[in-house]
Chains A and B, each alone.
Chain A
Amino acid sequence: AQSVTQLGSHVSVSEGALVLLRCNYSSSVPPYLFWYVQYPNQGLQLLLKYTTGATLVKGINGFEAEFKKSETSFHLTKPSAHMSDAAEYFCAVSFSGGYQKVTFGIGTKLQVIP
Chain B
Amino acid sequence: DAMVIQNPRYQVTQFGKPVTLSCSQTLNHNVMYWYQQKSSQAPKLLFHYYDKDFNNEADTPDNFQSRRPNTSFCFLDIRSPGLGDAAMYLCATSREQNRNPEQYFGPGTRLTVT
Q: Which residues of A contact B (CB under 8 A)?
A: 9, 32, 34, 36, 41-46, 49, 51, 90, 94, 96-102, 104-107, 109
Contact B102 A34 (CB under 8 A): yes
6 residue pairs A–B, Cβ–Cβ below 8 Å: A34-B102, A41-B108, A42-B108, A43-B90, A51-B98, A98-B96
Say yes or no: is B73 at the interface (Cβ < 8 Å to chain A).
no
Among B41-64, those with CB < 8 Å from A are 41-43, 45, 48, 50
Given known A34-B102, A51-B101, contact A101–B45 (CB-CB < 8 A): yes
Q: Is the interface of A mostly helix, strand, loop or mixed?
A: loop
A105 proximity list for chain B (CB < 8 A): 42
Say yes or no: is B75 at the interface (Cβ < 8 Å to chain A).
no
Contact A51 B41 (CB under 8 A): no
Closest B residue to A41 using CB positions: B110
Given known A44-B90, A51-B99, contact A107–B40 (CB-CB < 8 A): yes
A98 proximity list for chain B (CB < 8 A): 96, 98
Given known A41-B108, A43-B108, contact A94–B43 (CB-CB < 8 A): no
Say yes or no: is B105 at the interface (Cβ < 8 Å to chain A).
yes
Q: How far is the CA of A98 from the CA of B103 in the complex (A)?
A: 13
Q: How far is the CA of A97 from the CA of B97 in the complex (A)?
A: 8
Closest A residue to B9 using CB positions: A41
Contact A102 B103 (CB under 8 A): yes
Contact of B107 among A9, A43, A107, A109 (CB under 8 A): A43
Q: How far is the CA of A9 from the CA of B110 in the complex (A)?
A: 22
B102 to nearest A CB, angstroms?
5
Contact A104 B98 (CB under 8 A): no
A101 proximity list for chain B (CB < 8 A): 45
Contact A49 B102 (CB under 8 A): yes
